[in-house]
């Protein structure tokens, strides 16, 4: 963590504080269980609003909450050594590898989250854009009129939805949100390096021509930070920039923290009963 960011998360008025969690790479089921456990803790008013950064190991295909599992070729996915998990949020398939993921969780009546889904999306996007600009990327929000239609592909990064982040005409950071009466969870994926079209290798197609067509489309519509900057951005560097961007754009203050014992207990329960269970992950 840089000295500037370190100084911005210490000795802060409690009314402005958000908890900052920075976690190492973990399996997909654990990552999703932690995000939901934090949402449960927010609902129970046990913890302050929370900004979390994390990574994935091994690589994992995540499905949107209501995405049919038939969209993934499970045999090809297994042969490639990728895990599979279903997110508590919507959207389409993402291959999580060589990336930094953020999650942000707060109560629905928090100033950042109140109103409609797209209202909070836009506010959070201001923070994400500010963070990416700290890295030297001329990022901006996609138009609010962008919508995902019924004929979109199974790959999440092909087309930016409303207020997702683009740079040089290509999607660079995609997000999804789960809004409940007691908590709002939004998380999103920032690819750092590598080939974004790898997700195509584990999706299901009627023929290989369709697979290659999506691969070409994805390559033209999405980008990693390495592609945009011509250099490698490390996980730690991305975390510092995005955290500082949130502080700058959203007027929040960050204090480094850890999961509570209750959140750890809920994480273990959610992994065993939901995110590692076929009844959730393999739903049609």
Give one DSSP letter per residue of the chain, joined into a string: --HHHHHHTSS--GGGEEEEEE---B-HHHHHHHHHHHHHHHHTT-S--EEEEE-BSS-EEEE-TT--GGGB-HHHHHHTT-EEEE-SS-S-BEEE-SEEEEEEEE-TTSTTT-SSHHHHHHHHHHHHHHHHHHTT--EEEPPTT----TT--SBGGGS--TT-EEETTEEEEEEEEEE-SS-EEEEEEEE-SS-GGGGGGGB--SSHHHHHHHHHHHHHHB--HHHHHSSPPPHHHHHHHHHHHHHHHH--EEEE----HHHHHHHHHHIIIIIT-HHHHT--
Among all chains, which residue has been given the structure tokens 């504080």? 17
Nearest 5°: the CA angle 224, 225, 227 is: 65
The 10 Å Cβ neighbour count of residue 135 is 19
**156 part of the active site:** yes
Q: Is 22 left (phi over 0), alpha (psi -120 to 50) or beta?
A: beta
Q: What are phi and psi of 116, to 5 degrees?
A: -85, 170
Q: Residue 226 corresponds to which tokens in the numbers above? A: 């390495």
Q: Which of 41, 112, 156, 242 is catalytic?
A: 156
Catalytic machinery residues: 156
């Amino acid at each position: 963590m840089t000295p500037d960011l370190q100084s911005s998360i210490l000795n802060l008025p409690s009314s402005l504080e958000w908890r900052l969690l920075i976690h190492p790479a973990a399996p997909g089921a654990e990552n999703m269980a932690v995000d939901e456990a934090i949402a449960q803790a927010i609902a129970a008013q046990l913890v302050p609003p929370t900004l979390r950064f994390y990574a994935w190991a091994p690589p994992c295909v995540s499905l949107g909450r209501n995405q049919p599992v038939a969209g993934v070729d499970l045999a090809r996915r297994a042969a490639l050594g990728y895990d599979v998990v279903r997110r508590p949020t919507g959207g389409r398939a993402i291959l999580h590898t060589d990336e930094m993921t953020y999650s942000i969780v707060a109560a629905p009546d928090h100033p950042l989250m109140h109103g409609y889904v797209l209202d909070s999306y836009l506010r959070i996007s201001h923070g994400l854009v500010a963070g990416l600009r700290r890295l030297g990327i001329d990022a901006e929000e996609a138009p609010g009129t962008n919508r995902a239609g019924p004929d979109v592909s199974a790959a999440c990064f092909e087309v930016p939805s409303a207020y997702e982040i683009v740079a040089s005409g290509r999607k660079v950071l995609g997000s999804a949100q789960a809004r409940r009466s007691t908590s709002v969870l939004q998380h999103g994926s920032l690819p750092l390096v590598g080939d974004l079209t790898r997700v195509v290798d584990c999706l299901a197609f009627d023929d290989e021509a369709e697979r290659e067509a999506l691969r070409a489309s994805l390559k033209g519509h999405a980008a990693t930070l390495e592609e945009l900057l011509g250099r490698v951005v490390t996980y730690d560097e991305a975390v510092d920039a995005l955290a500082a961007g949130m502080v700058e754009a959203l007027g929040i203050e960050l204090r480094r923290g850890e999961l509570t014992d209750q959140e750890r207990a809920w994480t273990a329960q959610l992994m065993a009963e939901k995110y590692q269970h076929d009844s959730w992950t393999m739903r049609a």
